Amino acid sequence: MCQCASDAEPKTKEAVELDKVLAKYAGKKGALIPVLQAAQDIYGYLPAEVLKEISAQLKIPLSKIYGVVTFYAQFHLNPRGRNIIRVCLGTACHVRGGAKISEAVTKAVGIKDGETTEDLRYTFESVACLGACGLAPVMMVNDDTHGRLTPDIVADLLERYK
């Protein structure tokens, strides 16, 4: 007798959400990227199990999904911090001292570009342009844009994000 149904653990809240997303996009053209974006919103990153599930449901080979995930800067295969620090190193920020802001972030939270703190409080990334060049140098923490920065205010500013 098949035991699968009785052995299976109840679905997590995240898995239920993912099912809804997959149902919404079922059979639609070009669904992969929006589904990955939604899955990352649910889980905070893209765990391997989730990619396998998406592969099975959308009938897209896992290899192709892996190719797409690793191509775009937005997708992450590892857990990320609760607060995402994005320091702009675009042209306007570059000529107005963006690199000094980047150094100040490293000094304040102890991680380099691309790293996540062990307590998962912060992830630090550099980006090429946030489109707020009038306020250079700029950084974004989560959805808040902070402009006209100086290195000495960075630590206090980051401290606000728990």
Partner 1 sequence: MQLFRAHVLVCGGTGCVSSGSKKIQEAITDELVKQKLDKEVKVVETGCHGFCEMGPIVIVYPEGTFYCRVQVEDVSELVSEHLVKGRTVQRLLFKAPVTEEQVPSYRDIAFYAKQQRVALRNCGHIDPEHIQEYIARDGYEGLAKALTSMTPEQVVEEMKKSGLRGRGGGGFPTGLKWGFAAKSPGPKKYIICNADEGDPGAFMDRSVLEGDPHSVLEGMLIGAYAIGADEGYIYVRAEYPLAIKRLRVAIAQAEELGLLGDNIMGTGFSCRLNIKEGAGAFVCGEETALMASIEGSRGMPNPRPPFPAVKGLWAKPSNINNVETYANVPVIFLHGAEKFASVGTENSKGTKVFALTGKLRNTGLAEVPMGISLREIIFDIGGGIMDDKKFKAVQIGGPSGGCIPEQHLDTPVDYDSLIALGAMMGSGGLVVMDETSCMVDVARFFLNFTQKESCGKCTPCREGTKRMLEILQKICDGNGVPEDITTLERLGGVVKNTALCGLGQTAPNPILATLRYFRHEYEAHINDKKCPAGVCSALLEYKIVADNCKGCGACARVCPVGAITGEKKEPHEIDTSKCIKCGSCIEKCKFDAIVKG
104 binds partner 1 (CB under 8 A): no
Q: What is the CA radius of gyration of the chain?
A: 19
Query: Which residue of 48, 49, 56, 72 would you call a contact of partner 1, by CB under 8 A?
Result: 72
Q: Give the footprint of partner 1 on residues 128-147 (CB under 8 A).
A: 128-136, 138, 143-147
Query: Which residue of 20, 56, 62, 74 would you call a contact of partner 1, by CB under 8 A?
Result: 74
Q: How many CB atoms lie within 10 A of CB 133?
A: 16
Judged by CB under 8 A, which stretch of 13-21, 32-40, 116-124, 153-161 contacts partner 1?
32-40
Cα 121 from Cα 82, distance rounded (Å): 5
Cα 131 from Cα 78, distance rounded (Å): 27
Residue 89, CA distances (Å) to 38, 76, 94, 139, 157 in order: 27, 21, 5, 9, 19
The site that binds partner 1 (CB under 8 A) totals a number of residues, namely 39
Query: Which residue of 44, 57, 84, 94 would you call a contact of partner 1, by CB under 8 A?
Result: 94
- Residue 116 φ then ψ, to 5°: -125, 140
68 binds partner 1 (CB under 8 A): yes
Query: Which residue of 21, 92, 105, 158 would you call a contact of partner 1, by CB under 8 A?
Result: 92
Cα 159 from Cα 162, distance rounded (Å): 7
CA 162 to chain centre: 17
37 binds partner 1 (CB under 8 A): yes
Site residues (CB under 8 A) for partner 1? 29-34, 36-37, 64, 67-68, 71-75, 90-92, 94-96, 127-136, 138, 143-148
